[in-house]
């Protein structure tokens, strides 16, 4: 009888150990500015606002902590905002590079914490002069 109880307990333990536990998630969010959009702006004229195609052509790229293995991409909406849920952990954030685009301070290592929001604003320099 005792061996039967041990077998049942062992089976229950094995079965519950095989049930996947839900991943604990956090959020990466930010605002993206892109410019300059034209080579020169006349004095007194406002700088042009990026249209939806300017944002749609670019993405926020998230890599594992090694900075080489891509794990996700976040689209940038027409207002310049992005948001993505990620499992808790350390990541490297960069942009997909178009032409001579670059972003000061990227790539950057970030820590995603459980049920928290990590804000990372990005300023993309198009290289237009």
Domains in the chain and their CATH numbers? 22-125 (2.60.40.10)
Distance of CA 85 to the CA centre of its chain: 8
Predicted structure pTM score: 0.80
Residues 6+ apart with CB under 8 A from 99: 126, 127
Parallel, antiparallel, or unpaired: how do β-strands 122-125 and 25-35 relate? parallel
Going residue by residue through the chain, which has 129 residues, state the pLDDT in tens, using 9 for 90 and above: 677 776 777 666 776 677 777 899 999 999 999 988 888 888 888 888 888 899 999 999 999 999 999 999 999 999 999 999 999 999 999 999 888 899 999 999 999 999 999 999 999 999 888
Closest CA to 106 of 62, 73, 75: 62
Give strand pairing partners of 103: 124
Q: What is the pLDDT of residue 84?
A: 99
pLDDT at 15: 65
Beta bridge partners of 90: 111
């Amino acid at each position: 009888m005792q061996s039967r109880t041990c077998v049942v307990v062992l089976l229950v333990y094995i079965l519950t150990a095989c049930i996947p536990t839900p991943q604990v998630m956090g959020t990466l969010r930010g605002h993206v500015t892109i410019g300059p959009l034209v080579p020169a702006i006349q004095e007194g004229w406002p700088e042009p606002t990026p249209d939806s195609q300017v944002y749609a052509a670019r993405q926020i790229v998230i890599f594992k902590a090694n900075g080489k293995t891509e794990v996700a991409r976040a689209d940038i909406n027409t207002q310049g905002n992005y948001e993505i849920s990620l499992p808790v952990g350390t990541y490297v954030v960069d942009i997909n590079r178009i032409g001579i685009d670059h972003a000061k301070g990227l790539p950057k290592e970030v820590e995603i914490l459980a049920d928290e929001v990590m804000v990372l604003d990005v300023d993309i320099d198009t290289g237009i002069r």
